Structure 1
Amino acid sequence: MDIRSGLTVGRHAPNGRRRSAAKWAAAVAAAGTVLLTAAPPALAERSGFVTANTDYPATVEIDAVSPAVAGENATVTVTGKVTNAGRSALKSAHVAVRSPNRELSTRSEIGQVAARTSPSSQDGVDLDSPEVELGDLGPGQARDYSIRVSTADLRLKSGGVYELAVDVWGGTADNEREHPLGIARSFLPYNSEPVVKPTQVSVIWPITHAPGLVAQTMPDNDQVSVLRDDSLATELAPGGRLHELVRIGGDLQNLTWVVDPDLLDTVYAMTRPYRVQKPGTGGETAREDNTVPGAGRDAATAWLAQLRTVVARQGDEVVSLPYADPDLASIAHNGSRLPGMDTALRKAVTAGQLTAEGRLSVDVRSDVAWPYLGLLDQATASVAQASGSRVVLVNGASMPESRSMAYTPGAARGIDGQTAVVADTTVSALFQGDLNTPGARSAAEQRFLVETMMITSQEPENQRGLLVMPQRSLTAGTATAIAQSVRAAQTGGWITPVKLDAVAGATADPDANTAVPKDYPRETAGSELTAGALSETMAVQSGLDRLMLILTQPQRVRGPFSAAMVRSMSTGWRDQAAAGAAYRHGVGEYLNNLTSAVRVPAKSVITLPGDNATLLISVKNDLNQAVGNLQLRLTSGQVNRLNVGDPEPVVLDATTSRTFRFPAEAQVNGPVQMTAELWTTGPNAQRYGAPVVFTVEVTSVASGVFYVIGGGVVLMALAGIRFYLQRKKRAAAGEEATDPDAPLAPAEPASDGPAPATADADARSAAQAPAGPASEHPASEPVGAADADPASASGDADRAPGNEKVDH
């Protein structure tokens, strides 16, 4: 027998090691209260072991129970690990399985077993055989064990639910007498009777990710999309979270896929060449120097193809969340009264459905609301209903059942014009977090089996529906636990997997709780998007509307920013507060860059040495598309001292600058403050951009005309004496050539000669340069959602995202 392996089954020890319930009770009484370590209680319970302390220094883990459901005359194999978590060696340690005292008859009894924190006589009596000898274990040492026991040895008398406990006995350096060192608990369903009406179980399978696409795209004709980072590439690759969710979900029957359409758009953009922002460049225009090539093209292509295949299977159902999965609870509590919010949510619902159907080529339903963690209050329910939702996925903690109810009611129930599908609190809690160890997965699986078996046995003639609702960020380990649990229970015959539609459409139990709470949990409210964050997001719309007024191709900008606004409110930011704040800031900064690309350049003090002259005001357009519907207004702060001409209409080609002329008439010497500003045209004209204020210094009243040229930087002026001498000299020489430095004199009213050209060098060069093509492209426009969706999507499912370019 190799003691070190920990795998050999030993025989009955000399002098008998039958440990009676009385002996256990005495040992527990002598040991006192067991203290939990720093591990959270939920983790300790889920892992199936009692954590070690000075009284019980051995940590016992149960990594697997096979088969998970025991049949008549079956042999059950329990495997796991024992670790010496104490400070002294364990002497002659050995592992045994306990025979349970009795069958568990209620769900509350199951909960009581799971909640125990110390060995107890209630755990049953150790079997004489088999045992696994572990030998001596030094501090920190661990050994695996595997022990086989028959259902006959366990004395299971009928089909039902039983506790399965594994404990360790031995001595320690300070107490060499044999005594209990630690225990682990799990559950074993014993199934020997057929079930007439199995419980209908619907599992929602979330395919979501925090937003990745930004409003920018590269300024070229290839419409190259830009992502805020490349973390999605890792999740889509083999072994990554999203890759594993599609693989594992593809093996389950009648699954309900809950998909964020924005994720589908992002993955589709990644199937083509794309770029990734460098850190700290979120609000900048995308360029070669502040982005890097994305690395996930092959993974994205393969993943999207596989997802399309599995969701098209007969029996599965696809639920489309609103585009970018906006946080309904945050909006309900902090943003429901913001102008345009209701419209934005309704458009997100429409865009989500059209995008999901276009990307997946299947029919989807878009009338399902899923608040963060399924937590519901009256305000959140109202926002969900206003957005068009008929079904709300609810955490059972929000709508608990009465303690007097002796059975678990069906999941569906009516709540003020909607159907709440309430997930069982205990069952859904099993699949939260990351079950990334065999022990954690085994504990969740065995608990799921006995809970669902007990639910079915409560009302065997009353078939009910059960909703299993994991968290949005479902991990591969937790998904594996769900899949194993559902398959094992289905094999046992007491559940049958169904789509969400079947559970939601079932007749509601009249005795089930239908009261929606008024208050939202305080511990969860702290992670909500704040009123300031939501206000900042909705303020983007007003700036975007103003920009739309002047663009000749507004559709190239509307889609990217509408989508980015909804992404800014995504539920995905609940667990990534800093990343969400950075994303929102980047959207606002980028819009400011676009808006300020059409502007009046700043001007310095201008000297006006005359009573009549022309002020030249430049307007720049750094966008890659033409702009119009603008008017340039020049206003004098003292019209009695200096008066200027009427406003000028502004139409500019892409990436050009133009100078506009304003005749000026001065009456009095001295400084006069002037204001140049752009205004939109039309019945609802409004100021566009910040006004430019500068000073005109009037120094004299003289004949002739002087020009303030090129934004007030260059002043062409000649003194009267020099002008007179040069004319006299040319007249004496018989020359009439014009002095190139001389200001242009105003035309005489009676003159029939042609008007002189006055365009400055900048205007001439701009006029001669060919206008470049506009290159604003929509970033991640949802498929087929034109004008109705937050991304103003094109109906072309192959259209890639794009953006607006600003050159600084």
Structure 2
Amino acid sequence: MAPDRFRGRSLIVLLFVALLALGPAALTAFSDPLHRQPSTKPTKLLALSIDSVNPSSVTTTSDPNVSVTATVTNVGDQTVDDINVRMQRAPKVTTSADLRTSLQLDQQNFDVVGEFVTVSAHLVVGQSTQFTLSMPLRALRGTVPTLEITEPGVYPLLLNVNGAPQFGSEARLDDARFLLPVLGVPADPTAEDPADEAARPVAPSTAAPVATTMLWPLADRPRLAAGIPGSLEEKVRLVDDDLATSLAKGGRLEQLVSSLEFAVGPNVDRDRALSNSICLAVDPDLLVSVSNMTRGYLVLDDPMNPTGPTREGTGAQAASEWLDRVRALADNLCTVALPFAQVDLAAVRTVNDPTVSASAVTAPADVVDGILSATTVRGVIWPDSGTIDDDTGAFLRTFGTTSVVLASNAVDAGVGGLPAPDLVRIPSAVSTNPKPADPVGSDAALHAATFDVSTAAALAGVGAEPQTPSFAPADTRYDLDRDSRAARLQDALGAISWKALNLIPDQPRSQLIVPPQQWLADGNESAAVLSGVATLLRSGLATPRPFADILSRPPDPRPFELSYSQQAVDDAVPDSIRSAAASQAARIAALADALVEDPQSELTPYRFAAPLREDLLRAMSLSGRRGVDNKNGDNTTANAIGAARVVASQRAVDAMFRSVTVLSPGGTYTLASEQSPLLLVARNDLPIGIRVRLKIDAPAVMKITDIGEQQLPPRGTRPLQVPAEVADTRNLFIDVSLTTPGGHELGEPTTVSVRSNAYGQALAIITGCAGGLLLLLAGRRLLHRFRGEPDPADEGFERR
């Protein structure tokens, strides 16, 4: 055994000499695994996930220790021994951008460190263990390391896990980060004298509270099947029944409503501080879907076949109950309508159809008011992307929009990157056609209410499927899936607290809190966010500010410009869908213009065609373009869904055009004379009347009189009598079809075989000759009578 020990010691000596030759850096790396360079081995060995943080927000009355429960899992291909974890802290966040960038710092920047604690002796492949790690916020006495947090603020924290792989040496194998909002520092429990100034609780300054407003979105991805026109009797069709689950107890949309109901309830929000801060933001497409569900609905067996087999939907009762609860909230809270189906407003502009544009921009408020019996805030648009370009800004202003809600980096005043004020003026977005609804003397330029980019990005990360907004700067974009749901929620709580804890020079003390429109937070997460806002209000760090107050105040006097990022362009609806939607919009307009308004029928042309136009808005939705389905900028799924909706709409409208046609007589039609009318029958299979014109292509020998515009009844036929004149006797073939008054072809043309009995010029000559002969004979008879002579023609005929 001695030689073996000698060889082992020799190897150690040789290794030490080699490290000396490499220099101090190598010695540091060997002695402290935390300073090792990241491993180039592609296989990840351990995965660390935050499960909960207690307290999630520190106050003066909180526990003086921060406890983090986490789970470490062996996700590699070998056993890992000696799994040790410690807590670390980075300097508190001092800028809004640091709310996101601090979560990407190297662990060396988390320079306040705790002690390593062994959480597992070893983990085999696939095995996991949960643990809780605690660390004091501060301590005047004692030898235990602390987080050294002595003043309020938002602090980045990190859990660092080390381990020894089976085929390697001890190293840092993973970490997990999150933000800890400290609204106040609790008393130091280790102080000998609780009255000691250094041991007392440290409260935040409430001298300049932040005026706070929050938008609470209720939206979902488009669910109604495409290509189904408006109807009085038929049930709507949904592409799936997921909405029933979302509206039912424990579903996403139900929990968003439930958490808000509790937070603004009279027993919780007694002074209505939170109620006055919140504005309900509702997608009209969601309301249309839910409202139709309450009357019973069908679910497609194949989402790609809108007219295919269906089954009965199961969510009518849940839809009715949810809608009643939203009506109650809208009656108690500020309410604003979102653009229809989270549509890409830049795409709507390029479609360039007035009715489609109105359906996206102006009609949503009417839809929300009608279904919720509410009075929405008018003249304001919150684009789903949080950013618009100059042309879209002018387009919105022309359609009566006075204000938009944009990310703070979506506007620019050339002031060196400082945050935008809460309301700015955009001189480049000016109404070229002021609407009557615009107040007399109102500003022709668009106003923009801005929200903090980092706070909105943190809120977008909350939930089962984290999103990265289009407006998020490049240096703040990273794979959100590497963080757990609990960690992402912590980041959001820290973000909404940051401005209240930091006084920014030359900036107004206000904030607009904006989650993503299709927010995938569950009940606990949404309740935590509401609780965070309510805590700021109750502590005096914030004051409520109604949404309408932001819009009514004078904007910053400096001129701002719109800033449309390349990322927003990449996330937008592609040109292929835009051009297809524009072509389809023109055909829908042509059909709708030909339909007949019947005072005796509830099915109006607008009601019949509205779902077809809304299909185009759903096809241009931004839903699903920034979540887990489009990592690395891949919008293939969203593009396929949008294109399929346009195709379904095209097929449906094609069928509608074919539903109005001329019936073939099925044989040869015989004209009794050269001026006999041509009798035809037109059929309309649509459930609404339509105006048509006859288009007849006849030979030159046949003259057709235009009978002008004709009206066909719903689901019925009408005979059409067409004056015709034929100057010849022959068999003729004429092509007959119907068009809209604007000239768009309807149905299939039909060929009619016509047999004419007219003799033309020969008949005229024969008739003329016969007439002349008759006159000659009559004249001769009269001449003989005048002379008193018998007419030779009468010889042989005697009067008897």
Q: TM-score, structure 2 length as denominator?
A: 0.69
2:249 partner letter: P
| Residues 634 and 647 in structure 1, CA contact (< 8 A), matched pair in contact too | no
Alpha-carbon contact 2:580-2:646 (below 8 Å) kept: no
Task: Find the aligned partners of 1:312 and 1:607 in 2 and give their Cα distance.
Answer: 67
- Closer, same or farther in 2 for the Cα pair 1:383/1:179, shift >3 Å? same
- Who is 1:74 aligned against? 64
Decide whether aligned partners of structure 1 residues 173 and 436 sit closer, same or farther in structure 2, where only a CA change above 3 A counts: same
CA–CA separation in structure 1 for the residues paired with 2:322 and 2:288:
13
1:432 and 1:60 mapped to 2: Cα distance? 22
Larger Rg: 2
Q: Tell me which of the two structures has the higher relative contact order, counting C-alpha pairs closer than 8 angstroms and 6 or more residues apart.
A: 1
Aligned pair in 2 of structure 1 residues 680, 160: CA closer, same or farther (>3 Å)?
Answer: closer
Which among 661, 668, 673 is matched to residue 733 of structure 2? 673
Structure 1 counterpart SS, 2:120:
strand
- Give the 3-state SS of the residue equivalent to 2:612 in structure 1: helix
Alpha-carbon spacing, 1:453–1:655, altered in 2? closer, same or farther (3 Å): closer
Corresponding letter in the other structure for 1:483: L
Summarize the alignment of residues 741-756 of structure 1 with structure 2, pairs less than 5 Å apart: none
Contact residue 424 and residue 560 of structure 2 kept, 8 A: yes
SS at match of 2:157: strand
Per the TM alignment, residue 597 of structure 1 is displaced from its structure 2 partner at its CA by 3.1
Aligned-partner Cα distance in 1 for 2:94–2:745 = 74
**Residues 383 and 405 of structure 2 are in contact (CA less than 8 Å); yes or no, is this contact kept in structure 1?**
yes
Is 1:166 the counterpart of 2:159? The answer is yes
Displacement, 1:304?
0.4
Residues 485-564 of structure 1: matches in 2 within 5 Å? 485-487=532-534, 489-490=536-537, 493-496=540-543, 498-505=545-552, 508=555, 514-517=560-563, 521-525=568-572, 527=574, 529-548=577-596, 555-564=603-612
Matched residues in 1 for 2:331 and 2:728: separation? Answer: 81
Deviation at 1:638, TM superposition (A): 2.8
- Partner amino acid for 1:59? A
Q: Is the 8 A contact 1:550 1:628 kept in 2?
A: no
The answer to whether the aligner puts 1:295 opposite 2:320 as a matched pair is no
Q: Given residue 102 of structure 2, which amino acid in structure 1 is its aligned partner?
A: V
Q: 1:569 aligns to what SS in structure 2?
A: helix
Which residue of structure 2 lines up, in the alignment, with residue 419 of structure 1? 447
Superposition RMSD in Å: 4.2
Runs of at least 5 residues in structure 2 that lack an aligned partner in the other structure: 1-26, 139-145, 185-201, 264-273, 428-444, 466-480, 625-637, 761-800
Greater shift in the superposed pair: 558-567 or 386-395: 558-567
* Contact in 2 for aligned 1:369/1:389 (Cα 8 Å): yes
List runs of 5+ in structure 1 lacking aligned partners.
Answer: 1-21, 38-52, 703-808
SS at match of 1:523: helix
Compute the TM-score of the two structures, normalised by the length of structure 1: 0.69
Aligned amino acid, residue 303 of structure 1: W
Q: Is residue 452–residue 495 contact of structure 1 (8 Å, CA) maintained in 2?
A: no
For 1:431 and 1:63, how far apart are their aligned partners in 2? 18
Match of 1:692 in 2: 750
User: Is contact 2:294-2:317 (8 Å) kept?
Assistant: yes
Matched length: 641
Distance in 2 (alpha carbons) for counterparts of 1:380 and 1:692: 46
In the TM superposition, residue 645 of structure 1 has moved relative to its aligned partner by 7.4
Aligned with 1:317 (options 334, 339, 343): 334
- 2:530 aligns with 483
How far has the Cα of 1:536 moved from its partner?
1.5
Of 607, 612, 618, 2:680 maps to 618
CA contact (8 A) 1:167 1:183 kept: yes
Q: Does 1:113 align with 2:102?
A: yes
Q: 1:243 to 1:574 in 2, by over 3 A?
A: closer
Give the Å deviation of 1:214.
5.9
Corresponding position of 1:33: 38
Residue 468 (1) aligns with residue 513 (2): yes
Equivalent AA in structure 1 for residue 521 of structure 2: A
Which of 362, 374, 380 pairs up with 2:374?
362
Q: Deviations over 1:451-494 (max 9, x none)?
A: 45443344279652222322222113464564354355556653
Contact 1:415-1:516 within 8 A present in 2 as well: yes
8 Å contact kept, 1:367–1:390: yes
Residue matched to 1:329: 346
Q: 2:290 matched to 1:270?
A: no
Q: Of 398, 406, 421, which aligns to 1:394?
A: 406
Change (3 A) 1:542 1:433: farther
Deviations 1:178-228 (A, max 9, x none): 554433333333322232222233222222232527674798x75644445
1:135 is aligned to 121
- Greater shift, 456-465 or 423-432, is seen at 456-465
Q: 1:459 aligns with which of 503, 506, 528?
A: 503
Q: Is the contact made by 1:549 and 1:629 (CA closer than 8 Å) also made in structure 2?
A: no
**Separation in 2, partners of 1:132, 1:701:** 113
Q: 2:11 matched to which residue of 1?
A: none
Q: 1:170 to 1:212 in 2, by over 3 A?
A: closer
Report matched runs for 1:159-308 at 5 Å.
159-175=152-168, 179-190=171-182, 191=184, 192-194=202-204, 195-209=206-220, 210=222, 212=224, 216=228, 222=233, 224-227=235-238, 229-252=240-263, 253=274, 254-277=277-300, 279=302, 290-308=309-327
Q: Give the Cα separation in 2 of the matches to 1:470 and 1:459.
A: 23
In the alignment, what sits opposite 2:16?
Answer: none
| Distance change >3 Å, CA 344–CA 374, structure 1 → 2 | same
Match for residue 491 of structure 2 among 420, 434, 447? 447
CA distance in 2 between counterparts of 1:393 and 1:24 reads 50
* Sequence identity (%): 22
More displaced 10-residue stretch of structure 1: 551-560 or 199-208: 551-560
Return closer, same or farther for 1:488/1:612 CA change in 2, 3 Å cut-off: same
Residue 779 of structure 2 corresponds to none
State which of 352, 375, 378 in structure 1 corresponds to 2:387: 375
Alpha-carbon distance in structure 2 between the residues aligned to 1:542 and 1:649: 15
Q: For the Cα contact (< 8 Å) 2:573–2:621, is it kept in 1?
A: no
Counterpart residue type for residue 569 of structure 2: R
Higher helix proportion, which one?
A: 2
Q: How far apart are residue 157 of structure 1 and its match?
A: 2.7
